[in-house]
Structure 1
């Protein structure tokens, strides 16, 4: 390999290794109510394309009305929801989506 091709190889490696690929949920921010292959069938309050599961979760945390999300891992599609599975019976099987709720944080003063 000549010195002239090294920058091209390095650039190609950086491009391919920095491209976001999300294969599933990370373990840390989600809780016991997460479910793979199901979707809460309600109208989303907001949705995003090309986001990973962590970004989807963070967008839900930042949105004042968001309580849970439907996430499509193959398309990196995120739906922010203002309802939880425990508050509605509109929970359906959908192999293309995964469902997760925000953790409940209790503060004692």
Structure 2
């Protein structure tokens, strides 16, 4: 039993939000970016700037991955595969940093 093109398109479009939702997410991303720029100039926050920037980057990453990469609407297996890749990359990066700084850090550049 075959389905018509219209039925297939209707099923595909039913899983995606309205364009207004994408615009809302884009505005939120722009606001978070503006906050990041403001944080980079904030000297009063001192050592809190870097953790706040990391948190805002994670928020932006999640919004982009969920909405614009359509992971929110995809099969759970794709979300799991994506998260597995992210976790694996973080583990490899953490091991690399542990090895690098366990030996005293990166080699300093020679300056004249």
Please give the range of the TM-score, normalised by the shorter of the 2 chains.
Answer: under 0.3
Higher relative contact order (CA 8 A, sep 6+): 1
Q: Say which structure is richer in strand.
A: 1
TM-score, reference length from structure 2 = 0.24
Structure number with bigger Rg: 2
TM-score, reference length from structure 1 = 0.24
Q: Say which structure is richer in helix.
A: 2
